[in-house]
A = this chain, B = another copy of it.
Amino acid sequence: MQAPSTAPESSVDTSIDLEDFLPYRLSVLSNTISSAIAGAYAQRFGLTIPEWRIIAVLGRFPEISAREVAQKTAMDKVAVSRAVNRLRGAHLVRHQRAPQDRRRSILSLSKGGRALLRQVAPMAIAYEARLLEGFNPQERQELGLAMKRLLLRALEIGPLEDSPKTHAPSSVRTE
């Protein structure tokens, strides 16, 4: 597709080591941890991770709308809607409509939901503690800070749209 590479001995010159590639390593790490947790939640409490997230956030911020839940959990609104419905079916979450804006829902934990949270939260916290066991306070702080910086940077860089080669002539489609 492009002009043939003029490299004389090209066999390995563009090889990339997946094991050193930060996005790959992050993905493997995150998936490993998430599936360990997901297995435990499912097995012991019948909860998925989206459901657990909703319960956690409602424990901390009662009486918020589905949209706010979506923001605070970094979940899609569709995922929130479906997970909330399952939780309602299990009588773990209560659902009202906001009187002043009747599109808006007001979600909160039921008694059972709060009881479940009291069971799940310690397990989650204990798991995190085991993960970080070998890290001293300074290392923990540095790790947290590094993740914060990376996330900020990833959001700044953004969706990586076309051609970073030419200086962007701000030809951004607005529709």
Binding site for B on A (CB under 8 A): 1-2, 5, 10, 12-19, 21-37, 39-40, 43-44, 53, 56-57, 59-61, 72-74, 114-115, 117-119, 121-122, 124-128, 130-135, 139, 142-144, 146-147, 149-151, 153-155, 157-162, 164
* A133 to chain B: closest residue by CB: B153
Secondary structure of the A contact surface, majority rule: helix
Copies of this subunit: 2
Name 12 interchain pairs, CB-CB below 8 A, sorted by A.
Answer: A12-B59, A14-B117, A15-B60, A15-B121, A16-B56, A18-B56, A26-B34, A28-B74, A32-B155, A40-B161, A130-B157, A135-B149
A29–B32 touching, CB < 8 Å: no
> Complex: how many Å from CA A34 to CA B16?
17
Provide the residues of chain B in CB contact with A164, threshold 8 Å.
Answer: 126
